[in-house]
Amino acid sequence: MPPHVLILGGTTEARELAAGLAARGVRVTTSLAGRVARPGALDGDVRVGGFGGAEGLAAWLREQRVDALVDATHPFAEAITANAARAAAATGVPAVVLRRPGWHPGPDDRWHPVASLPEAADLLPRLGRRVFLTTGRLGLAAFAHLTDLHFVVRSVEPPEPPMPPHTRTVLARGPFTVADEHALLREHAVDVLVTKDSGGEATAAKLTAARDLGLPVVVVRRPPLPAGTPAVPDVAGALAFLGLAPRRPGPGASGGTQRFV
């Protein structure tokens, strides 16, 4: 029996890791929450839908004889990351969080960090009237009371109420180029941008475009990782954790790699 790795997915990195594991002959299952109706193709097996909390995930790990767990969910998917840490602790299954690094402002950026979507909504009326909101279609309720502002919302699937009354939807899936983002900001006369600190290349162009146009950006900070959970920044790090690629030497590197699969 080949070793079995469960990836908690929903990100580009999860897709790349599934391909990398399948190519190495590892049995890989990617778990998706089921929020997107037509997710792209994935290597290996795919299961869809919640597990029923940390206990449900722990039961699944045992039943499916999972040898290692990689939480490659989005940096803002806080509940499933907490559940994964608890399930790994309860079962003893080795687990790692694959979390891409966050973004950092440059000297010409006008960033306003906030802790949450409601805090972003509180701040917005002081910064602009025409908002490009890129925090995901499921978080629009936090802005629904801002009846005087005009919003452009970009998402893969159409948003549902509650949402602000003056909302225009742009249906699109990244990656986006800086030219795409300049065009969108100009077309809708945007004067403020709201984003989560998702990190990664696929959606970073909007930050460059906002900087070029001198626009303020409200940046929602990431929730912290569960205490004690090992984390790696990329697919190579996840493979190294699993013992499938050499760990790159760095300050404090401990040397050998424990083989989990």
CA distance 242 to 258: 7
Task: Tell me the two tokens of residue 166.
Answer: 């003056």
Closest approach of Cβ 157 to ligand NAP, in Å?
Answer: 12
Task: Tell me the two tokens of residue 95.
Answer: 């687990």
Whether the Cβ atoms of residue 143 and residue 220 lie closer than 8 Å to each other = no
Q: Which is nearer to ligand NAP, 77 or 184 (CB)?
A: 77
Closest approach of Cβ 4 to ligand NAP, in Å?
Answer: 16
**138 CB contacts (<8 Å, ≥6 apart)?**
35
Query: Across the strands, what pairs with 155?
Result: 171
Closest approach of Cβ 74 to ligand NAP, in Å?
Answer: 3
Closest approach of Cβ 29 to ligand NAP, in Å?
Answer: 10
End-to-end CA gap in the chain: 11
Q: Is the peptide bond before 162 cis (omega within 30 degrees of 0)?
A: yes
Q: Which is nearer to ligand NAP, 61 or 80 (CB)?
A: 80
Q: Which is nearer to ligand NAP, 128 or 226 (CB)?
A: 226
Task: Tell me the two tokens of residue 107.
Answer: 């000297």
CA Rg value for the chain: 20
Q: Which is nearer to ligand NAP, 158 or 252 (CB)?
A: 158
Q: Which is nearer to ligand NAP, 33 or 245 (CB)?
A: 33
Closest approach of Cβ 235 to ligand NAP, in Å?
Answer: 15
Closest approach of Cβ 10 to ligand NAP, in Å?
Answer: 3
Interacting residues with ligand NAP (CB under 6 A): 8-11, 31-33, 35, 50-53, 56-57, 73-74, 76-80, 83, 136, 196
Question: What is residue 180's three-state secondary structure?
Answer: helix
DSSP characters over 60-109: HHHHTT-SEEEE---TT-HHHHHHHHHHHHHHT--EEEE-PPPP---TT-
Q: Which is nearer to ligand NAP, 83 or 167 (CB)?
A: 83
Closest approach of Cβ 128 to ligand NAP, in Å?
Answer: 22
Q: Which is nearer to ligand NAP, 30 or 167 (CB)?
A: 30
Whether the Cβ atoms of residue 139 and residue 158 lie closer than 8 Å to each other = no
